[in-house]
Structure 1
């Protein structure tokens, strides 16, 4: 069973965003409404699977990663979508993923 933390926009207490690279955002449908329950995958610069979380009921997701090139891909009954993000260092990097059929 997956032990992924509860997803949300609030960074957990104790996380030092001066040292951690955080990729977070929301999964949204074509109307801009949140898509809860989407499977959100983090792929590395080669397109290889790195991690997966389930978006919260409000479409929120969060990954702790490293600087580099990443693709965030969302898969849901409302459709699929992906977006590239290139964090250059520590901090919170926010990116929304739009999904469509």
Structure 2
């Protein structure tokens, strides 16, 4: 399955090759009625609302971005025309977690 933009596989666990001391990670899951939503698009928007990146959620509904420190918006576009925005702050050395219910 294509991951778009050469993004790595979206898995629930951070790959062992990632040095969290040097990365700011935004990671989350997309769920509908408590069930994971695969095939949804997660878009990363900067503080001005400009598109920065996009990945497709995994079978487990997982998405992940490596971002610069700061405030971001994750916009999830799911089957059925559903769109949900979530604000998140990324900080080097941390995983900013999101659970998006659609």
* TM-score normalized with structure 1 length: 0.88
Q: Is the 8 A contact 1:73 1:97 kept in 2?
A: no
Aligned-partner Cα distance in 1 for 2:17–2:38: 26
In the alignment, which residue of structure 1 is the partner of 2:15?
12
**Is 1:42 matched up with 2:44?**
yes
How far 1:87 moved relative to its partner? Answer: 2.3
Q: Cα RMSD over matched residues?
A: 1.4
Aligned-partner Cα distance in 2 for 1:69–1:51: 15
Structure 2: give runs of 5+ residues left out of the alignment. Answer: none
Q: Is the 8 A contact 2:12 2:60 kept in 1?
A: no
* Misfit runs of 4+, over 4 Å: none
Aligned-partner Cα distance in 1 for 2:54–2:91: 21
Instruction: Identify the match of residue 58 of structure 1 among 57, 60, 63.
Output: 60
* TM-score normalized with structure 2 length: 0.88
| CA displacement, residues 9-36 of structure 1 (integer Å, 9 cap, x when unaligned) | 211122111111010010112x122110
Instruction: Identify the match of residue 89 of structure 1 among 67, 89, 92.
Output: 92
Q: Is the 8 A contact 1:72 1:97 kept in 2?
A: no
How many residue pairs get aligned? The number is 98
